[in-house]
A and B are shown apart, each in its own frame.
Chain A
Amino acid sequence: MLICDEYLTPASLDEAFAAMERHRGRYRVVAGCTDTLPWAREGRAGDVEIPVLIDVTKIPELNERHVGDTRVRLGAATPIQRFLDDAALGRAMPAMPRCAVWFADDQIRAQATLGGNAVNASPAADATPCLEAHDAIVELASSKGRRSMPLREFITGPGKTQLAEGELLTGFECDAFPGYGGSFEKVGHRRSLVISVVCLAVMVKLDRDGRTIEDTRLAIAGIRPVPRRLREIEDLLRGKPLAGALLEEAADMPLDLVQSRSRQEYRRDVVRGFLVRGLIAAAKRAGASPDALTRELEAAYG
């Protein structure tokens, strides 16, 4: 049970900083609360008494959304469901709708926020590998000023970030990838409401004929302490003709990706299959030429 004496809903960043200053050492910042409330239960943190909860989801800046041709800016309180509801956003971040559909369930993603997913820094977070594939920059603010840094520097370990005392994550700035095909592969113990054992975000851009890989972005999570971009695979694929053998070669690169504490062998098998399957799916959505990939390959990795 999460017990508080006061629940504050500041209407601006300044109000939030003032509340954080006023209740220094006695508060916790919350957003969607979809992780905080289950955390404060028996078996995890148990009954937790926090004098002041500061809910930042009503701050206008944290709800901003700007989708440009090359850049996307999203406030930290953006609910995950927005990637399914907002067509322009989905086009600019093509793996994200696929990620969203696997994220918790229809109801929780209406409440869970992108910022919360990043600040929690779970190794199994679904949204962070997607953000990583977009070279996301996190924007931080405190009463003393603002700073920003790449997401890959922000998340330093399981549950650990560079967020400082008195500081809020306000938003993300990402590269936009319109015209790319996106996919998101995830496995857990069931479909909905499941923590990823492995998850993979893939984006692919093909040439006009749908035969050559012009660009690709991949990032993986669930198998190591923090999400990891797969630049080696991106470099291998970039500029090459789309072909099953190439995708399998990419999946077979000896990268030692799996560094999880458990089920390593299983995860290695899954990663290999996900890489090929994710690349096939993303390439098809990017308009792959019908004869670029064989039906046998698709059946083998379907």
Chain B
Amino acid sequence: MVDIHLDAIINGRKVSRDVKPHLRLLDFLRDDLNLTGNKEGCGAGECGTCSVFVDGVLMKSCLMPVAKAQGATVDTIESLAKSGELSVLQKAFHKAGASQCGYCIPGMVMAATAALRANPFADREEIKERLGGNICRCTGYQKIFDAVELARDVQNGRVPATALLETDTADGEVIGKNVRRIDAPSKVSGRLKYAGDMTMPGMLHVQVLRSPHAHARIVSIDTSAALAMDGVESVITAADVPGKDGFGVFVHDQPIMARGKVRYVGEAIAAVAAEDALTAKRAVAAIKVVYEQLAPVFDPDEAMLPGAPVVHDYAPDNITKHIPIRVGDVEAGFAASDLVIEESYSTQAIEHAYLEPEAGLAYVDHDDVVTVVSPSQNITHHRHMLARIIDKPISKVRFIMSPVGGGFGGKEDMIYQGMLALLAMKTMRPVRLVYTREESIISTAKRHPSRTTLRMGLMRDGRIRALAMRMVCDGGAYGLSTEGVMRKAAILAAGPYAIPNVQIDTYGIYTNNTPSGAFRSFGALQTQFATESQLDIAAERLGLDPFEIRRINAMRDGDMTHTKQKLGSVSLMRALEAAEQASRWEAGAPTVRGPSRGDLNHDDVRPSVTLGTRFASGDASSEAAE
């Protein structure tokens, strides 16, 4: 490789050094200069966590070869609060609560800074447009736009600078008050270190070999060529696991790397620790695996048929978990009903898409404590599982939870921490693994795809007499949280409605698809999508107002749920009323709402999607005839 000699001014300091020619500006800033405030969220220019100023122009540093910064002035998020004093925009983000996980926020602050530089009087729509290259997964953007508007108004003197400060809370009361988040300054300044930002002296970089096959027996793994490469410190496979391999939230069916066979595309097979990520990547490519293809099964309904390929020997019927609930007599309920509706519903796999891809750092400390630092959402459970897997007493295993750059349930599973612990033990050096966005999407858990059939029996007045639901979920190749998801799905399937006769069956099924796991709402979404949709259909068929049919069936204070939980207070009626008002609901059956509907086109309703507000604001002097 021919190094580039780079001369640049970075955050006001002269930098002159040799850099590898294949680095992107982002790599150089983060890895060579340790300026980790700007993050890598996607590596493909989609998310904007890496946005930095190059000669005063905001650029995505993941799309810029470092050589392009030759002679340039580069400013990162670290330049905005150099002496520790936050910029007006950063203070406004703090004040407005415009940070949750914080991972997108350095990029957002940079984009907002660029937006107000381009037009100090930009209105909210123009701010939205100018921030269009940056993605946030947590906030829903409104607080971010609030923050930029607040900063704009303070900068223009329309609002006093005191508006950026904490609202006085007399006598120190905070409950019910709008207080600033205590962790926001670290996020708006980029100073908060996520796992992928952390380094340790002597640290090795980890890359993972993943399965190209959905279902195959592993005949042999030859790591000799990889191990022989310069800079490769260790290569591990399932054979290196010293203890009882297997993790999972309910059933420990997943080895830390494929053992004997692979069960989905993207499953980890081997991991390499090397002096740098590129060497580790090349070593991964040098590992030879011989597979014997097995028949795969991708459809959960097919997986339940006799003779279907078996994913796990312990579950010959491929059922991860079946949760049945029986209340009353549904057949009698249907017989007594005036109307019986039967429909099918399906939902698809969904990626959590947290802005922070999985990352972790592991080391063995001076007291031989195996330590894993990662954004795990369940460190105590992980610690217990890992102790068994690496055959150590619990006192010699430590988990440190790094800031979670978005989880939504997707970081509950111990998918990669076992490999890191093992490599730290093998090499006795710190090791770090940072997933690419693609790796995160390919290999980690998704929301359970579902197929639901729902029968609902109702009386003419709208009361539900009976509900029978059968939901089959694709749990994918490993159990993870499937059992819990099926439980919650079943418990909440009938919704907040008093129904005398209920029959619910939820099934989590093994297939050779990407594993399904925890995801916000944890199964409730899938079953309630069916129940709520069916209530709308029922309202139409019975000529009832959709809100009314829900009120008729609502559980009240003191009611018993169909899983025998007594409810002290039920807020459903208040929630329905609030939703009815906020949506300007026009009372009546769904069929009576026509072209004269009055709920649309109000000032607080967002207009159709377009771009170009900056032309209207006069910024684009390039207009021909306007």
Question: Interface of A with B (CB < 8 Å)?
Answer: 1-7, 9, 30, 32-34, 37-38, 41-43, 47, 53, 55, 57, 81, 83-84, 86-91, 94, 97-98, 101-102, 104-108, 110-111, 178-182, 190-193, 285-287, 302
Q: What chain B residues lie within 8 Å of A1 (beta carbons)? A: 22, 278, 281
Asked if residues B625 and A37 are in contact (CB atoms below 8 Å), the reply is: no
A47 and B286 alpha carbons, distance in the complex (Å)? 14
B626 at the interface (CB under 8 A from A): yes
Asked if residues B45 and A108 are in contact (CB atoms below 8 Å), the reply is: yes
Asked if residues A101 and B625 are in contact (CB atoms below 8 Å), the reply is: no
Asked if residues A6 and B621 are in contact (CB atoms below 8 Å), the reply is: no
B620 at the interface (CB under 8 A from A): yes
Asked if residues B21 and A87 are in contact (CB atoms below 8 Å), the reply is: no
Asked if residues B4 and A3 are in contact (CB atoms below 8 Å), the reply is: no
Q: What chain A residues lie within 8 Å of B611 (beta carbons)? A: 101-102, 191-192
Asked if residues A47 and B281 are in contact (CB atoms below 8 Å), the reply is: yes
Kindly name the residue among A38, A86, A191, A192 whose own CB sees the greatest number of chain B CB atoms within 10 A.
Answer: A192
B63 to chain A, nearest CB (A): 5
Could you say which of B54-62, B400-408, B477-485 contacts chain A? Answer: B54-62
B438 at the interface (CB under 8 A from A): yes
Asked if residues A4 and B22 are in contact (CB atoms below 8 Å), the reply is: yes
Could you say which of B129-137, B144-152, B188-196, B386-394 contacts chain A? Answer: B129-137
Asked if residues B133 and A105 are in contact (CB atoms below 8 Å), the reply is: yes
Asked if residues B22 and A55 are in contact (CB atoms below 8 Å), the reply is: no
A33 and B51 alpha carbons, distance in the complex (Å)? 16
Residue from the list A6, A9, A83, A179 in contact with B622, Cβ < 8 A: A83
18 chain-A/chain-B pairs, Cβ below 8 angstroms:
A6-B1, A7-B22, A32-B63, A34-B45, A41-B43, A41-B44, A42-B439, A53-B21, A55-B65, A90-B620, A90-B622, A97-B615, A101-B611, A106-B114, A107-B114, A110-B57, A111-B60, A179-B624
Asked if residues A111 and B21 are in contact (CB atoms below 8 Å), the reply is: no
Chain B residue nearest to A283 in the complex (CB): B625
Within 8 A of A (CB), among B17-62: 21-22, 24, 43-46, 48, 51, 57-60, 62
* Chain A at the B interface: SS class: loop
Known contacts A43-B438, A90-B622; A37/B24 CB under 8 A: yes
Q: What chain A residues lie within 8 Å of B48 (beta carbons)? A: 105, 107
Known contacts A33-B65, A38-B45; A86/B622 CB under 8 A: yes
Q: What chain A residues lie within 8 Å of B278 (beta carbons)? A: 1, 3
Q: What chain B residues lie within 8 Å of A193 (beta carbons)? A: 45-46, 132-133
A266 to chain B, nearest CB (A): 16
B162 to chain A, nearest CB (A): 32
A299 and B2 alpha carbons, distance in the complex (Å)? 60
A181 and B67 alpha carbons, distance in the complex (Å)? 40
A287 and B63 alpha carbons, distance in the complex (Å)? 40
The number of chain B residues with a CB under 8 A from chain A is 50
Asked if residues A106 and B438 are in contact (CB atoms below 8 Å), the reply is: no
Asked if residues B70 and A9 are in contact (CB atoms below 8 Å), the reply is: yes
B112 to chain A, nearest CB (A): 12
Asked if residues B132 and A192 are in contact (CB atoms below 8 Å), the reply is: yes
Q: What chain B residues lie within 8 Å of A90 (beta carbons)? A: 620-624
A287 and B626 alpha carbons, distance in the complex (Å)? 8
Asked if residues B21 and A107 are in contact (CB atoms below 8 Å), the reply is: no
Asked if residues A41 and B436 are in contact (CB atoms below 8 Å), the reply is: yes
B145 to chain A, nearest CB (A): 14
Q: What chain B residues lie within 8 Å of A41 (beta carbons)? A: 43-44, 436, 438
B140 at the interface (CB under 8 A from A): no
Residue from the list B44, B132, B438, B624 in contact with A91, Cβ < 8 A: B624
Q: What chain A residues lie within 8 Å of B608 (beta carbons)? A: 302
Chain A residue nearest to B55 in the complex (CB): A110
A4 and B278 alpha carbons, distance in the complex (Å)? 12
B129 to chain A, nearest CB (A): 7
Q: What chain B residues lie within 8 Å of A55 (beta carbons)? A: 65, 67-68
Asked if residues B622 and A87 are in contact (CB atoms below 8 Å), the reply is: yes
Kindly name the residue among B1, B57, B67, B622 whose own CB sees the greatest number of chain A CB atoms within 10 A.
Answer: B622
B182 at the interface (CB under 8 A from A): no
Chain A residue nearest to B277 in the complex (CB): A1
Q: What chain B residues lie within 8 Å of A287 (beta carbons)? A: 625
How does the 8 Å CB contact mask read for B167-203 relative to A, with 1 for contact and 0 for none? 0000000000000000000000000000000000000
Known contacts A107-B51, A108-B45; A181/B624 CB under 8 A: yes
Per CB-CB distance, the 3 closest pairs between chain A and chain B, nearest first, are A90-B622, A105-B133, A192-B132
A106 and B60 alpha carbons, distance in the complex (Å)? 10
A231 and B442 alpha carbons, distance in the complex (Å)? 46
A182 and B20 alpha carbons, distance in the complex (Å)? 45
Residue from the list B22, B436, B439, B621 in contact with A3, Cβ < 8 A: B22
Kindly name the residue among A89, A104, A178 whose own CB sees the greatest number of chain B CB atoms within 10 A.
Answer: A104
Asked if residues A106 and B132 are in contact (CB atoms below 8 Å), the reply is: yes
Asked if residues B63 and A38 are in contact (CB atoms below 8 Å), the reply is: yes
B404 to chain A, nearest CB (A): 24
A87 and B626 alpha carbons, distance in the complex (Å)? 13
Chain B residue nearest to A285 in the complex (CB): B625
A196 and B562 alpha carbons, distance in the complex (Å)? 49
8 extra interface residue pairs, beta carbon distance < 8 Å, beyond A1-B281, A90-B621, A108-B63: A5-B21, A9-B67, A37-B44, A42-B442, A97-B622, A97-B623, A105-B133, A111-B63
